[in-house]
Structure 1
Amino acid sequence: MSALSLNHVSKVYPPRSAGWRGLLRPGMKQRPGFQALNDVSLTVEHGEFFGLLGPNGAGKTTMISILAGLAHATSGSASVCGHDVVTDYKEARRSLGVVPQELVYDPFFTVRETLRLQSGYFGLHNNDDWIDEILYNLGLDDKANANMRALSGGMKRRVLVAQALVHRPPVIILDEPTAGVDVDLRRTLWEFISRLNKEGHTILLTTHYLEEAEALCGRIAMLKSGRIVALDTTEALLARVGGADLEDAFVRIMHNEDALKASA
């Protein structure tokens, strides 16, 4: 039983008509649907620190949305810790913590209230000890009673990380968690996440900071136009492509798919 599994997953978003309010007018053509994922099969084992890389629009966020139950696959199946994300969605979601790209927050609550509310979604009502530990490790302990709308963008992103961790999920997905944040947050975040990984948590990371992926991830998949075009250990990818570093290897693969055939 893998931590994360996708089996021949495809996702096609339905076409939008070119007309006003979804109505086609004479002479207008129906726009084709958009295929975000195309027959993707992938497994991430328990305890891995796994990197999912690709350019904007490659399908990374769509894959994460399917795993999190926010989108349904057009075909194929996905599971979290052996729980199908459709037929056993409650356990699948309980096993997963997701840090999204977007800054989403409720402006009416303090940081601590936000984390207590998130705990309640999972039936955890006496969770303050773990909340205190998360706040400390993410450098939020002095902001615990601050209103969310009063925080800086970097502090709000720390709260998103805390929300994903508050129910102690065995699998954590970080969707570009350090985009636009300062060096201090990046260092604090990676120290804490690396510690959780050593304690047995599975981590899936998407990032455009490829030096982060190279330093942290034991195995990496690269997506392009909804397909996996590379899948191997970080060391093996560098050796096979011949790049000086992961960024160099990434550029070579994205510009020349024949540089490396996808492997299982």
Structure 2
Amino acid sequence: MSAWALTRRGRRTARRASDSSALEAAARWGFTARGVLYVLVGVLALRIAFGQGTQEADRGGALSEVAGRPLGSFLLWALGIGLVGMALWRLSEALFGAAGPDGHKPRKRLLSLARFFFYGFVAYTVLSFAAGSRGSGSGSSDQQSEDVTARAMELPAGQWIVGVGGLAIAVTGVWIAVRAALRKYHKHLKMGELRGRTRQAVDVAGVAGGIARGAVFAVLGGFAVKAAVDYEPDKAKGIDDTLRSFAGTPAGPWLLALIAVGLALFGVFSFAMARWRKI
């Protein structure tokens, strides 16, 4: 058999592996893990809005909340492994293309690759936390953001790097919110299996959750841009401080409460994606 034929067979085998039921299960597990984290961050932010929160409303706070529950250690490992599954699924999309008619386009593959790195990093922090390295997963997102920004600004053209990065995050936030409002997620769902009130509930969670998530990213990126313009790394904020900034608006804690409910709804939407997402 020629080398070309062997290569072609290898690609077919890899493609079948990427479409396997095991990878589909891993992806759905990953959506579930993502949902749990967003629900917990939303709950923590809601507590802060009403003056009852003591933990930070970010991934570290969510992991600490899980760790304090019965079977907390088991749940942490389950979340971390689920996020590994999400990362591997995104990697398979980058290598072999995603579901849908345009899933093989280079832009889609690059987006999947970026998501692979993102979820890979999140999975690493969660698994590190589960293994006992508390600083990796539970460190303040605000302090981490300031540290990363400060190190980036020390690089040649660091001020521009931070500014462009912040702008990219802000634009991504707007993109997330707009796509949610337009219900672009419909093309990824098995809409034929959604009926009546179930479909309405999924749309409420998808739209409200996506807009809230996009708003957080947009404001987070805005703080990074401001830090770059003023050349003050401490003006960069993590998720917790970004959420708290909503309470400093004229709407007061009610805006933070609204965003918190939206983030929790995005978690619920992630559960719906785990059930009805086309993999």
**Which gives a bigger RCO, structure 1 or 2 (Cα 8 Å, sep 6+)?**
2
TM over 0.5: no
More strand by share: 1
Normalising by structure 1, we get a TM-score of: 0.30
More helix by share: 2
